[in-house]
Amino acid sequence: MTIQATLIDELAVMLGQGGLLTDIDDMARYCVDWPGYRGGAPLAVARPATTRQVADVVRYCHRHDIPLVPQGGHSGLVGGALPDGERPELVVSLERMTAVRDVDPINFTMSVDGGCVLQSVKDAAEAVDCDFPLSLGAQGSCQIGGNVSTNAGGLNVLRYGMMRQLVLGLEVVLPDGRIYNGMKALHKDNTGYDLKQLFIGAEGTLGIVTGAVLKLFPRPQVSRSALLACPSVAAVLELYALARRSCCDLLTAFELVPRTCLELAMEAAPDLRDPLDAPAPYYVLMEASASGPADLDSMIESLFERGLETGRLTDGVLATSEAQAGNLWRIREAMLEGQRNRGEHLRTDVSLPISSLNTFHERATEEIGTLCPQATIIAYGHIGDGNLHFNILPPPELGPDERSSLLHELEERLFEIVADFDGSISAEHGIGRFKQTAFLETLSEPEYDIMRGLKRLLDPRYLISPGRILPRPVE
Amino acid sequence: MTIQATLIDELAVMLGQGGLLTDIDDMARYCVDWPGYRGGAPLAVARPATTRQVADVVRYCHRHDIPLVPQGGHSGLVGGALPDGERPELVVSLERMTAVRDVDPINFTMSVDGGCVLQSVKDAAEAVDCDFPLSLGAQGSCQIGGNVSTNAGGLNVLRYGMMRQLVLGLEVVLPDGRIYNGMKALHKDNTGYDLKQLFIGAEGTLGIVTGAVLKLFPRPQVSRSALLACPSVAAVLELYALARRSCCDLLTAFELVPRTCLELAMEAAPDLRDPLDAPAPYYVLMEASASGPADLDSMIESLFERGLETGRLTDGVLATSEAQAGNLWRIREAMLEGQRNRGEHLRTDVSLPISSLNTFHERATEEIGTLCPQATIIAYGHIGDGNLHFNILPPPELGPDERSSLLHELEERLFEIVADFDGSISAEHGIGRFKQTAFLETLSEPEYDIMRGLKRLLDPRYLISPGRILPRPVE
């Protein structure tokens, strides 16, 4: 038997029936992420059923110098959880660790396994009249451990923050196989360095998140949606500041939709009607919601009044039924569909100070237009988060190589503009492997030194998710 | 000239006129914290005027192996910023770095110097119709750098979170004198490890916070206060969960006040009247506030109805004027005064899962009562934060030594009970030096190893705030 075969044998014994997959067909689905990105062939796929088993596997890998990569629901966008093709890795999937350990509607907390699917967490919250507000397109498959490790954002960040704001405690298997037990359900705790912060957003490079204590909120009982028409991005930004006031910070969404995107949506969904009589250059799709007797209609009407008075708003419609609200939100879905129909394009996920979004938008539109006049810009986003998806559809006539090199050039230019505005090249998606080159260019020397120091402190041999976020040291 | 005199001379030149204090009388006020705690004599007091000067001082200390301690507004409760008596330290006071660098009411952010006094931050926010919600008794003197370094909490944590939730960016002078510039005003940023988290709550042991980007909120336009009478702590907890729903998460305070505390308040302020007709064992002082047209009265009335129906509430009063609200909140002030009038006592700052507060309260009351039947227990706190000040007044007849040893014994017992409930021995106050012994007992081996590793990574020679949180290594 080869050494590798021995290792795999020992892991199989450790994990028991169904705990280790080694067949190529069985392992195929662990090598693909949702957008279709593919990784290399793994050594094997470990499917531990308990935190103890995760610790056993990691300790074993530590002892035998086997690199490993933790996996959640395969919905990452930067290749962080895909097995490396060059240096085979053991995939550690948390898919068998799906328990909701405890729900506490008085403390407004829930304790769950790292492999628990986001939708199950949301369902368990709803069962006690609470809400776990993290909402993502992938919520039916993504796992809490992955949400923690990528500091997931999604639709309700404006109101509830990113995942970091929703985590009170963590359980993490460290790269040496020891367990850090920080599963405390405390809303306040100032005892020493807050270690859980290290693992949130670390993309699995500092440990495997096997459990989390999450914050819950009262479940919204009422919600109202509206579409607003605005003359400019600057007006949209001022309207946002007004809306936070008028709606008493009960806003759950405030989305920028340029006219181009509305047209793209109507192209993709021909039954969709222009919701307003006259076209406007920009629209806002907004939603407010409340868990008790709040008069959201009055709040939104007062926003309409202030907006019309001050010329920041030219028209608007308040949905008075769930069906009407659903129709408004279909615009956003259809616009994404319309974008996908246009084939390969540049998708970005940048963030800026909200107050810079209009000047950033102007400058980026101008410079990208100069670089490639035939490109179509599709720039929409979460205004309240300063998060813009400034996407670019290349001219349709280009061949694959030309297209790819054009998109690369446009991305570089766009990221330079982002840097000029003190923005971020990755608001939500993270770094993983795909964004590493661009990311490393943004780091100052002290930042790089501390980040590398953190990695070395916890994983001196770069065995866990090696090469993600930071490159492996040259050997 | 001695070596020390040379060092002091060089620092004086570096910092210019008024930049270095060496006279014992001039230095006296840097050796005392607000509660009256005293530190040792410092080497000197450096008062840098810019981030660059802070960096110069720290680099100089690093080169010459001089320990230093950063200082804010002297309102700490655990001795963290007091100069060490055993090994003289250079005090680095940020009191000359008080600028509000930038206020951005569209981005809802503000950039300030580390030495900016909290009240100035609040005033600058108010000037643009915004709110910086951190509210502390010490807000007229405490500084933002200190608030960041201690992860300050205060009155509005229930609604807005601790300081960690209010910080978007930081500028920190690292222990080697380099500057970490993370002054980004971004609401979303997932590019690598979130380094600012390291310095929040680190009590100045990993660097000196010289600047911060803070989150602002719409300024509340209306607020309503109420006093509720409840039959038990369990009823208070259930009422809290109801209140979050009824008040649409617009609650800004939900404070537990036992009858003992109300009586203590009336004793300290004889003009204070019992606000309700019949005494009740427990009261809640609550407040809700909103930045727009929310009908807070209806919300609180709906809570009264639900509370009365379900027996969780026996009586209540909704303040219908600011004067009435002020009278309700005077109870809390007077109760703290009444407590101070009773002389030296055990003050604790523990936190528990909210749902455990009643069983914790019962068990602690019983066990402390058994240990010392003549002690008076004063247990009040922020219910929504799970934060209880379980304070104990010793029998008045004890001498100072007996009292001190009794309080120590009671604290140890109380902390054991806190541990049994997976609570925290320091919800807000931090560790500093005073709570170090008790804190170290709560740490697991991996926790201790990572914390020590973080300290060594950033400050391998333990030169900055040495001995705070973690002990200095034995030489």
Residue A365: give its domain's CATH number: 3.30.70.2740
Q: Does residue A298 sit within a domain?
A: yes
| pLDDT > 90: percent of chain B | 92
Asked if residue A250 and residue A200 are part of one domain, the reply reads no
* H or E segment to which residue A71 belongs: strand A68-71
Q: How does residue A2 score in pLDDT terms, banded at 50, 70 and 90?
A: confident
Asked if residue A191 and residue A119 are part of one domain, the reply reads yes
Cβ–Cβ below 8 Å for B187 and A384: yes
Q: Does residue B317 sit within a domain?
A: yes
- What does each C-alpha distance from B203 to B44, B81, B146, B432 come to in angstroms? 21, 8, 8, 7
Cβ–Cβ below 8 Å for A457 and B453: yes
- Domain edge (last residue) among A396, A420, A444: A420
Asked if residue B205 and residue B130 are part of one domain, the reply reads yes
Q: Which residues in chain A touch residue B241, judged by CB atoms under 8 angstroms apart?
A: 105-106, 108
ipTM of model = 0.97
Q: How does residue B475 score in pLDDT terms, banded at 50, 70 and 90?
A: low
Distance from CA of B15 to the nearest CA of A (A): 24
HEC string of chain B equals CCHHHHHHHHHHHHHCCCCEECCHHHHHHHHECCCCCECCCCCEEECCCCHHHHHHHHHHHHHHCCCEEEECCCCCCCCCCCCCCCCCCEEEECCCCCCEEEEECCCCEEEEECCCEHHHHHHHHHCCCEECCCCCCCCCCCEHHHHHHCCCCCCCHHHHCCHHHHEEEEEEECCCCCEEEECCCCCCCCCCCCCHHHHCCCCCCCCEEEEEEEECEECCCEEEEEEEEECCHHHHHHHHHHHHHHCCCCEEEEEEEEHHHHHHHHHHCCCCCCCCCCCCCEEEEEEEEECCCCCHHHHHHHHHHHHHHCCCCCEEEECCCHHHHHHHHHHHHHHHHHHHHCCCCECCCEECCHHHHHHHHHHHHHHHHHHCCCCEEEEEEEHHHCEEEEEEECCCCCCHHHHHHHHHHHHHHHHHHHHHCCCECCCCCCCCCCCHHHHHHHCCHHHHHHHHHHHHHHCCCCCECCCCCCCCCCC
Q: Which residues in chain A touch residue B129, judged by CB atoms under 8 angstroms apart?
A: 245
Asked if residue B328 and residue B235 are part of one domain, the reply reads yes
Distance from CA of A299 to the nearest CA of B (A): 6
Q: Are B407 and B345 in contact (CB under 8 A)?
A: yes
In this structure, how many other beta carbons lie within 10 angstroms of the beta carbon of residue B69? 26
pLDDT, tens digit, 9 for 90 and up, residues A262-309? 999 999 999 999 999 999 999 999 999 999 999 999 999 999 999 999
Asked if residue B288 and residue B251 are part of one domain, the reply reads yes
Asked if residue B113 and residue B178 are part of one domain, the reply reads yes
Q: Does residue B150 sit within a domain?
A: yes
Among A73-87, B104-118, B198-212, the least confident range: A73-87
Q: How does residue B3 score in pLDDT terms, banded at 50, 70 and 90?
A: confident
Does the pLDDT value for residue A214 go beyond 70? yes
Cβ–Cβ below 8 Å for B164 and A424: no
Q: Does residue B437 sit within a domain?
A: no
Would you state the pLDDT for residue B132? 98
Asked if residue B408 and residue B310 are part of one domain, the reply reads no
- Domain edge (last residue) among B55, B73, B93: B93
pLDDT, tens digit, 9 for 90 and up, residues B440-451? 999 999 999 999
Cβ–Cβ below 8 Å for A353 and B104: yes
Asked if residue B332 and residue B299 are part of one domain, the reply reads yes
Distance CA B251, CA B41 (A): 45
Asked if residue B243 and residue B214 are part of one domain, the reply reads no
More confident position, A419 or B342: A419
Residue A45: give its domain's CATH number: 3.30.43.10
Question: Best of B193, B389, B442, B468 to disrupt the A interface by mutation (most A CBs within 10 Å)?
Answer: B193
Q: Does residue B429 sit within a domain?
A: no
Mean of the pLDDT values across residues A146-168?
A: 96
Does the pLDDT value for residue A3 go beyond 80? no
Would you state the pLDDT for residue A223? 96
Distance CA A155, CA A152 (A): 10
Would you state the pLDDT for residue B1? 60
Residue B260: give its domain's CATH number: 3.30.70.2190
Asked if residue B272 and residue B191 are part of one domain, the reply reads no
Q: Does residue B268 sit within a domain?
A: yes
Range of the domain at B59: 3-93
pLDDT, tens digit, 9 for 90 and up, residues A10-23? 999 999 999 999 99
Would you state the pLDDT for residue B5? 87
More confident position, B452 or A86: B452
- Domain edge (last residue) among A183, A218, A253: A218
Q: Are B164 and B170 in contact (CB under 8 A)?
A: no
Of B164, B197, B238, the CB nearest to A106: B238
Mean of the pLDDT values across residues B213-239?
A: 97
Does the pLDDT value for residue A383 go beyond 70? yes
Mean of the pLDDT values across residues A368-374?
A: 95
User: How many Cβ pairs closer than 8 A exist between chain A and B?
Assistant: 286
Q: How does residue B334 score in pLDDT terms, banded at 50, 70 and 90?
A: very high
| pLDDT > 90: percent of chain A | 92
pLDDT, tens digit, 9 for 90 and up, residues B243-280? 999 999 999 999 999 999 999 999 999 999 999 999 99
For residue B107, the chain A residue with the least C-alpha distance is A354
Q: Does residue A430 sit within a domain?
A: no
Would you state the pLDDT for residue A163? 98
Q: Beta strands of A164-231 (E only): which ranges?
A: 167-173, 179-182, 208-215, 217-218, 222-230
Q: How does residue A1 score in pLDDT terms, banded at 50, 70 and 90?
A: low
Distance from CA of B222 to the nearest CA of A (A): 10
Residue B210: give its domain's CATH number: 3.30.465.10
Question: Best of A101, A170, A193, A450 to disrupt the B interface by mutation (most B CBs within 10 Å)?
Answer: A193
pLDDT, tens digit, 9 for 90 and up, residues B11-31? 999 999 999 999 999 999 999
Asked if residue A226 and residue A337 are part of one domain, the reply reads yes
Average pLDDT, chain A: 96
Number of domains in chain B: 4
Q: Does residue B36 sit within a domain?
A: yes
In this structure, how many other beta carbons lie within 10 angstroms of the beta carbon of residue A3? 8
pLDDT, tens digit, 9 for 90 and up, residues B38-78? 999 999 999 999 999 999 999 999 999 999 999 999 999 99
Q: How does residue A475 score in pLDDT terms, banded at 50, 70 and 90?
A: low
Asked if residue A187 and residue A127 are part of one domain, the reply reads yes
